[in-house]
Amino acid sequence: MRHIMTSLCLGSALVLSACSGEQDSAELDSAFKAVNVIDESGLNDIMLNSPDPNEAVRYFARATAENPERIDLKRGHAKALVRAGKPTQASAIWAQVIASPEATDDDRLGYAEALIRSGEWDRAEEQLDAIPPTMENFDRYRLEAMMADANQEWEKADSFYEIAVGLTTTPAGTLNNWGYSKLTRGEFVEAERMFGEALGYDPKLFTAKNNLVLARGAQRKYDLPIIQMTQVERAQLLHTLGLSAVKQGDVEIGKGLLRDAIETHPQHFDAAARSLAALEANVVN
């Protein structure tokens, strides 16, 4: 009988499951699922870093629809939505994630950031307060600094920003935020220094360039700083500086800077042209 069974099993690969039994088949299915999860995990990481954030959103939306019980896919979906500039939708997904027993403190941080980006500061603060103080990482302090800023708790904000900057090798964005905080407080010299430091880490960060010009304009420094910039960026920064001069009451200087912006831009610079036309019309009137 053993010889007959062996012959039958060797006779056709199609009857493998019958020869191996249900237990072996289940083990094979489990093994294949494990491999698929490993492969999918790599794909998830690739999609989260996709050059097209909306492509990642579509991928995770489809994956979560097919596997609604998978918290890792929901987590990826929420992160992709934030990256795609859709924080309100991301907040709804994060709420589902943190309701799961598998949720982590990192998930609360992700939820808090989505809420901050949506302007829901009170709800974001609730999430940050729910995270134990033993969790000390860059994202925690970065978000705590932003929350302190929103509450106008300046000493706390400065302390959190300082810690956050020390916990990352890429602090340009955080230094820019810190500088903007200083700018809103009227601490223009310190703000200028921080924007310059941010550009030292990331010379291409245009928001820091623009904020640097704002800080200088607030001090009536109407020359462009010596920083890396394209011709288009130079025109945009001259536009910002011109408007800043007008705000300071230096209208003629502002008009001159706007003319420079229009002449510098390689194409038609509609925003600067409109600003200059409005100023000249106002003077005529």
How many folded domains does the chain comprise?
1
Tell me which residues of the chain have a pLDDT lower than 50: 1-21, 29, 31-35, 37-38, 284-285
Q: Retrieve residue 70's tokens.
A: 């998978």
d(CA 262, CA 239): 8
Position 43 scores a pLDDT of 79
Domain that holds residue 101: 39-127
Whether 81 is covered by a domain: the verdict is yes
Whether 105 is covered by a domain: the verdict is yes
Whether 74 is covered by a domain: the verdict is yes
Q: Retrieve residue 259's tokens.
A: 């003319």
Position 6 scores a pLDDT of 35
Position 139 scores a pLDDT of 96
Whether 21 is covered by a domain: the verdict is no
Position 181 scores a pLDDT of 97
Whether 193 is covered by a domain: the verdict is no
Position 274 scores a pLDDT of 94
Type of residue found at 246 = V
Q: Retrieve residue 41's tokens.
A: 């995990």
Contact 44, 72 (CB under 8 A): yes
Contact 148, 132 (CB under 8 A): no
List, for residues 211-258, the tens digit of each pLDDT value.
999 999 999 999 999 999 999 999 999 999 999 999 999 999 999 999
Q: Retrieve residue 123's tokens.
A: 């709800």
Residue 89: which CATH number? 1.25.40.10
Whether 10 is covered by a domain: the verdict is no
Position 18 scores a pLDDT of 41
Whether 100 is covered by a domain: the verdict is yes
Whether 162 is covered by a domain: the verdict is no
Residue ranges with strand state E in the chain? none
